[in-house]
Amino acid sequence: MNLKAYLFVVPLSLLLPLTLNAQDIPPTTSLVYPGTDGRLVYVADSLGNKIPDFSNAGYSGGGISIPYVAIRETVWPVPGDNSANIQEAIDRVSALPQDASGFRGAVLLKMGTYELEKPIYIKASGVVLRGEGMSDIGSILIGKIPAEKQASPFGRSALVNIGGASGVTPKEETKQLITDKYVPVGARSFNVVSARGFKAGDKVLVRRIGNQEWIKEIGEDSVSVGRFRWRPFNITWDRVITEIRGNSITVDAPIFCAIESRWGGGEILRYDDEERIEKVGIENLRGVSEYNPAVRMTAYGNMDRGSWDNPGAHYEGEEYYSDENHYFNFINITNAKNGWVRNVSALHFASSLVTTTASTKWITIQDCESKEPVSIRAGARRFTYQLNGQLALVQRCFSQKGRHSFVMQNHASSGNVFLDCEAVNPYSTSEPHSMWVNGALYDNVKAPLTARYWKDISIGWAGANIVFWNCEGDFLIQKPPAAQNYSFGHIGINAVIFNALLQDLSKPNGHVESMDRHVTPRSLYITQLNERLGTQALKNVTREGQLLE
């Protein structure tokens, strides 16, 4: 590496302080590193697969400041149930016309305590719910214990729900087959039979077909790998066309799993999403899930015990609050894009501070904290920041006593980034959790991490083409067939054991470089964003000191 070029061509505030001596400069990796001109060089494998550009994650595709939206309604707390007052204010703002920027207005909840007997809903674009602080003297929403006991953690409403009537509707009549035999991980361009029906600016779905032969190739075709067989499925990426040259189409963000003709190839088609809402946000609030402190359970140590269908499988030891007849989730986002959750705290929710579903895109969650969740320490609980959609950014967020604190589920989850986050006293690992989550970045995350194979349950290969960058904490990273997982600059032991009976350590390790020493650049996401959009984009989305932290 040309040290002089590296120090003076790359923005110093982005990568390294001037006071570092040469021997103190963190090493580079072999697959992505600053070149002689200071810009990142990506080294592809023999098939063309490379570390993807993750910088499209976040509000409005990354690099755009979360806006301040003008207040249109103000609500003060009243004794008793505040659900109707807040919902009616939201509904009045939802009925206003959108301004030139697409916003209708914000509902301001004045400082105080708001008891809620019912969930709150935002169903229109351009609406923001804002409080006057996330502390114990801010705007506090208290989800009251439901009058009737709920039998399962699945399918419950969150305390605050954001979502349109529907998500994406494919226009199947516009479909064109991808003609390339192999489109590698990290690619943004590919060839189709005919591009005449498309133009720059079109919203499109890029589908990667996965047939039964692919299921067999990755070892998920037998009952022996789990309670349920995997079935063939397609991976679909939500993209925008940026350029067309002949029959070659370029989209705004890369694909995160190779498209291969031998597994069924791929296709592209336009879509409609008129009922998917956008430009919605939750900010400056605290949420509290009221629970019954008399309901307790004992457990042993700092490990997962029990499961949803056998929650009593705990050992004698530590006593903890385990009531489950209360709100599991604080904020749920579905059928939405270009949204945010910022400066929000959550107390006692049994599972998540925020969950994004498969129909979401371009969501930012930042400067949030979850503390003291109340639930059984078992499956389907304590998924603190759960990203099931695409291209979301979770940054500067904190989780205490979560299980899977920074987590993604299923193959619809792709292109998501966790940046400068921390999990304290976790009861399990942060991870891609199930069925081929593809293309995620954990960047400077302090938490036990895994990207692994689960045996004896239906999860199987949980994630593919996952990148750990300058993270800290014990970890386990394994290589799936026909894909890869990566660890660069990880400080921790590459042998994390949570639920050891569900791990299969016979699977090959993923690509690991620079154990116990961080690498250059400090942040992959921040560097990629800077190179794509420039330093102003960094100022828009980072806080003072974050570039060097």
Rounded Cα distance between 467 and 29, Å, is 13
Pairing relation of β-strands 467-469 and 486-488?
A: parallel
534 backbone φψ class: left, alpha, beta (φ>0; ψ -120 to 50) = left
Please tell me the predicted confidence (pLDDT) of residue 546: 87
Nearest to 372 by CA among 317, 315, 424: 424
pLDDT band at 500 (very low <50, low <70, confident <90, very high): low
Pairing relation of β-strands 176-177 and 266-272?
A: antiparallel
CATH of the domain at 67: 2.160.20.10
Per-residue pLDDT tens digits for 88-110: 999 999 999 999 999 999 999 99
Residue at 285 is within a domain: yes
Please tell me the predicted confidence (pLDDT) of residue 22: 54
- Which residue is it, tokens 């301004």? 99
In this structure, are 139 and 177 located in the same domain? no
In this structure, are 202 and 253 located in the same domain? yes
In this structure, are 207 and 227 located in the same domain? yes
Residue at 158 is within a domain: yes
Per-residue pLDDT tens digits for 376-396: 988 889 999 999 999 999 999
- Rounded to an integer, the average pLDDT of 193-220 is 96
Domain that holds residue 200: 169-272
* pLDDT of 65 higher than 80: yes
In this structure, are 318 and 260 located in the same domain? no
pLDDT band at 291 (very low <50, low <70, confident <90, very high): very high
Range of lowest pLDDT (13-22, 124-133, 145-154): 13-22
The number of distinct structural domains making up the chain is: 2
Specify the 3-state DSSP secondary structure of 478.
Answer: strand
Please tell me the predicted confidence (pLDDT) of residue 152: 60
311: CB partners within 8 A, 6+ apart: 376, 378
* pLDDT of 404 higher than 90: yes
Give me the percent of the chain exceeding a pLDDT of 90.
80
In this structure, are 252 and 281 located in the same domain? no
pLDDT band at 223 (very low <50, low <70, confident <90, very high): low
Q: Side-chain half-sphere of 283: how many Cα atoms within 13 Å?
A: 19
Rounded Cα distance between 463 and 467, Å, is 10
Nearest 5°: the CA angle 464, 466, 471 is: 155
**Longest Cα pair distance anywhere in the chain, in angstroms?**
68
Task: Tell me which of 221, 252, 272 is where a domain ends.
Answer: 272
Both tokens assigned to 88? 């009616």
Task: Tell me which of 229, 257, 272 is where a domain ends.
Answer: 272
Under DSSP, the state recorded for 26 is P
In this structure, are 370 and 415 located in the same domain? yes
Phi and psi angles of residue 92, each rounded to the nearest 5 degrees, phi first = -65, -45
Give me the percent of the chain exceeding a pLDDT of 70.
87
| Count of Cβ atoms closer than 10 Å to residue 325 Cβ | 15
pLDDT band at 150 (very low <50, low <70, confident <90, very high): low
In this structure, are 430 and 485 located in the same domain? yes
Please tell me the predicted confidence (pLDDT) of residue 221: 84
Rounded Cα distance between 58 and 33, Å, is 23
In this structure, are 173 and 113 located in the same domain? no
Please tell me the predicted confidence (pLDDT) of residue 505: 76
Rounded Cα distance between 327 and 243, Å, is 46
CATH of the domain at 264: 2.40.30
Please tell me the predicted confidence (pLDDT) of residue 18: 44
24: CB partners within 8 A, 6+ apart: none
16: CB partners within 8 A, 6+ apart: 7, 25, 26, 520, 522
Residue at 299 is within a domain: yes
In this structure, are 82 and 176 located in the same domain? no
Please tell me the predicted confidence (pLDDT) of residue 499: 59
Please tell me the predicted confidence (pLDDT) of residue 149: 65
Specify the 3-state DSSP secondary structure of 487.
Answer: strand
In this structure, are 109 and 133 located in the same domain? yes
Please tell me the predicted confidence (pLDDT) of residue 10: 40
Per-residue pLDDT tens digits for 111-148: 999 999 999 999 999 999 999 999 999 999 999 998 66
Residue at 261 is within a domain: yes
- Rounded to an integer, the average pLDDT of 37-66 is 98
Per-range mean pLDDT, top range of 20-29, 292-301, 395-404, 446-455: 395-404
Residue at 9 is within a domain: no
492, 466 in Cβ contact below 8 A?
Answer: no
- Which residue is it, tokens 């301040």? 68
Computed over every residue of the chain, the mean pLDDT equals: 90
pTM of the full structure: 0.93
Task: Tell me which of 272, 298, 315 is where a domain ends.
Answer: 272
Both tokens assigned to 549? 């932290």
Rounded Cα distance between 434 and 432, Å, is 6
Residue at 2 is within a domain: no
| CA 258, chain centre distance (Å) | 21
Rounded Cα distance between 122 and 353, Å, is 17
| Inter-CA distances, 120 with 37, 124, 393, 426, Å | 51, 13, 24, 29
195, 255 in Cβ contact below 8 A?
Answer: no
Round to the nearest angstrom and report the end-to-end CA distance of the chain: 23
Per-residue pLDDT tens digits for 302-333: 455 443 334 444 444 678 999 999 999 999 99
| Inter-CA distances, 294 with 142, 291, 312, 347, Å | 19, 9, 17, 17
- Rounded to an integer, the average pLDDT of 223-231 is 68
Residue at 49 is within a domain: no
Per-residue pLDDT tens digits for 440-472: 999 999 999 999 998 767 788 999 999 999 999
Sheet holding 431-432, edge to edge: 120-122, 160-163, 331-334, 354-356, 385-387, 406-408, 431-432
Burial label for 119, CB within 10 Å (0-12, 13-18, 19+), is middle
Tell which wins on pLDDT, 410 or 24. 410
14, 527 in Cβ contact below 8 A?
Answer: yes
In this structure, are 233 and 88 located in the same domain? no
Residue at 544 is within a domain: no
In this structure, are 113 and 237 located in the same domain? no
